[in-house]
Amino acid sequence: MSEGTFQAPVGTHDVLGPESRQWEGVIATFAQWAYRYSFSLVISPLFEDVGVFHRGIGEASDVAKKEMYVFEDRGGRRLALRPEGTASVVRAFVQHHPTTPWRAWYVTPAFRYERPQAGRYRQHHQLGVEVLGSDDPAIDVEVIALAERFYRAIGLRRFRLHVNSMGHAECRSAYVEVLKSYLARHVDELCDEHQKVWLANPLRVLDCKKAACVTVTVAGPQLPDYLCDACRDHFIAVQRGLTAIGIDFQLAPRLVRGFDYYTRTTFEFASDALDAAQNALGGGGRYDQLAEQLGGEPASGIGFGSGIERLLLARHAEGVDEALLKRSVDVFVVDTTGDDVATPLVDELRLRGFAVSRSYDQRSMKAQMKLADRSGARLALLVGPQERDRGEVTIRDLRSADFEQTQASVARDAVIDAVTQRLLK
């Protein structure tokens, strides 16, 4: 006897059918759009040397300090589960020297020891892209456009795009000095946490969502006013490109995002259908120094990541018709012959490209029809002893209220044609 059961760990969740059909739909749509933009899939390990993330996202970032799953393996190596995709994809780029510009997409779990709440998990799942080896603003526009087009393709409409530029290392450090002296004069007005830690990384104060910090930083110096000419030109070119392809955006001068690797363009898509604590559908930006920080040759980069759970929450909150992405079976085969007529019939249909399900274990007609209904199939093919002896199959439209009217017997040899015709209708 076992000693009780187990639950999925706090902050994680199982995804089973039929919900997983929505996941399949979202991932397949992303893969299709990534293909249209000529990205190739990259698969890299879920764990890396902890240094990849310390150097990548920054040791002082909240994620590195408080949320990473760090462990020692049996060989004494210090490893971490990936809290995000970018640092490991860039590590793979540095290791393999692919031809540039290198365009990679991924779907990956990401692990962060966060306080679990609606839309916030300790294992969430991201879809994302990274482009390495070019700082052409046209690539920034493409990466943002891919995210926008993909969100629309999965049915989302109520979201806003915020964009900013953080400049490159030099113009940003000039800004940080100005920000420091401004914050020094307003320390007492910051939130409790930032009153203590603002000096270690003043940019983090811009990212703080607490009202006290927001009030101080809104009135303070704004990053885009301190960009050097090259960074300002780059930012203007990105805005011009977005406008040229009809993508609306709002300038968000305080958008610095949570990781230290960002330079120049940063952006975030916020859903208007979700509460502020979980309204980030996705975000990303440039990281023109990251390849070098990870020991490689200089190579500019840009990308974004989007949480699958968030996208599904937003679809639900917007009331997007689930049928939009529904990938249910086409045909359910009901076999009451007592023989196994179903196996060759199902095989033939699958070889011809249909998604097919059936029942097993010689169930009753009634039980099989119940399963057929539940499967979401458009059509049922019924074979009983009579049909078998006549060399026929009965075809029934499961979505029609009056199935007797639409039901028909077809010769076994003509079944593929009959199914094709019905499904095309």
List the one residue from 29, 86, 239, 368 that touches ligand HAM (CB under 6 A): 86
Closest to ligand HAM by CB, 284 vs 376, is: 284
The CB-of-257 to ligand HAM minimum distance in angstroms stands at 6
The alpha carbon of residue 54 and the mean position of all alpha carbons in its chain are separated, in whole angstroms, by 23
243 to 262, contacts with ligand HAM by CB under 6 A?
A: 258
Closest to ligand HAM by CB, 124 vs 422, is: 124
Cβ burial of 47 (10 Å; 0-12, 13-18, 19+) is: middle
CB 111 within 8 Å of CB 83: yes
Percent of residues in the chain assigned helix, strand, coil, to nearest 5: 45, 20, 35
List the one residue from 47, 70, 100, 114 that touches ligand HAM (CB under 6 A): 114
List the one residue from 140, 260, 309, 392 that touches ligand HAM (CB under 6 A): 309
DSSP states of 190-256 as a string?
S-HHHHHHTTT-THHHHH--SHHHHHHHHTS--GGGG--HHHHHHHHHHHHHHHHTT---EE-TT--
List the one residue from 33, 106, 121, 150 that touches ligand HAM (CB under 6 A): 121
Coil, strand, or helix at residue 406?
A: helix
Does 202 sit near ligand HAM (CB under 6 A)? Answer: no
CA distance 136 to 298: 15
Question: CB 93: neighbour CB atoms within 10 A?
Answer: 24
Does 82 sit near ligand HAM (CB under 6 A)? Answer: no
Does 315 sit near ligand HAM (CB under 6 A)? Answer: no
93 to 112, contacts with ligand HAM by CB under 6 A?
A: 112
The CB-of-259 to ligand HAM minimum distance in angstroms stands at 7
Does 85 sit near ligand HAM (CB under 6 A)? Answer: yes
Does 124 sit near ligand HAM (CB under 6 A)? Answer: yes
Closest to ligand HAM by CB, 62 vs 322, is: 62
Closest to ligand HAM by CB, 106 vs 226, is: 106
List the one residue from 307, 313, 359, 372 that touches ligand HAM (CB under 6 A): 307
Question: CB 241: neighbour CB atoms within 10 A?
Answer: 19
Element (H, E) at 409: strand 408-411
The CB-of-87 to ligand HAM minimum distance in angstroms stands at 8
Using CB under 6 A as the binding criterion, the count of chain residues that bind ligand HAM stands at 26
Name the one range near ligand HAM by CB under 6 A: 125-133, 164-172, 210-218, 333-341: 125-133
Element (H, E) at 317: helix 308-318
Name the one range near ligand HAM by CB under 6 A: 40-48, 173-181, 222-230, 280-288: 280-288
Closest to ligand HAM by CB, 105 vs 354, is: 105
Contacts (Cβ under 8 Å, ≥6 apart) of 425: none
Closest to ligand HAM by CB, 101 vs 384, is: 101
The CB-of-286 to ligand HAM minimum distance in angstroms stands at 8
CA distance 24 to 32: 12
The CB-of-284 to ligand HAM minimum distance in angstroms stands at 3
Does 167 sit near ligand HAM (CB under 6 A)? Answer: no
Three-state secondary structure readout of 26-57 = HHHHHHHHHHHCCCEECCCCCEEEHHHHHHHH
CB 173 within 8 Å of CB 202: no
List the one residue from 79, 93, 130, 150 that touches ligand HAM (CB under 6 A): 130
- Per DSSP, what are the bridge partners of residue 79? 49, 71
Closest to ligand HAM by CB, 164 vs 359, is: 164
Greatest extent of the chain over all pairs of C-alpha atoms, in Å = 91
Does 160 sit near ligand HAM (CB under 6 A)? Answer: no
Q: State the distance between the two ends of the chain, measured CA to CA, in whole angstroms.
A: 54
List the one residue from 25, 56, 128, 137 that touches ligand HAM (CB under 6 A): 128
Sign of CA dihedral 182, 186, 190, 195: positive
Closest to ligand HAM by CB, 288 vs 392, is: 288
Coil, strand, or helix at residue 295?
A: coil
Phi then psi for residue 412, to 5 deg, are -50, -40
Closest to ligand HAM by CB, 12 vs 394, is: 12
List the one residue from 280, 356, 395, 419 that touches ligand HAM (CB under 6 A): 280
Interface with ligand HAM by CB under 6 A: which residues? 84-86, 112, 114, 119-121, 124, 126, 128, 130, 258, 280-285, 303-307, 309-310
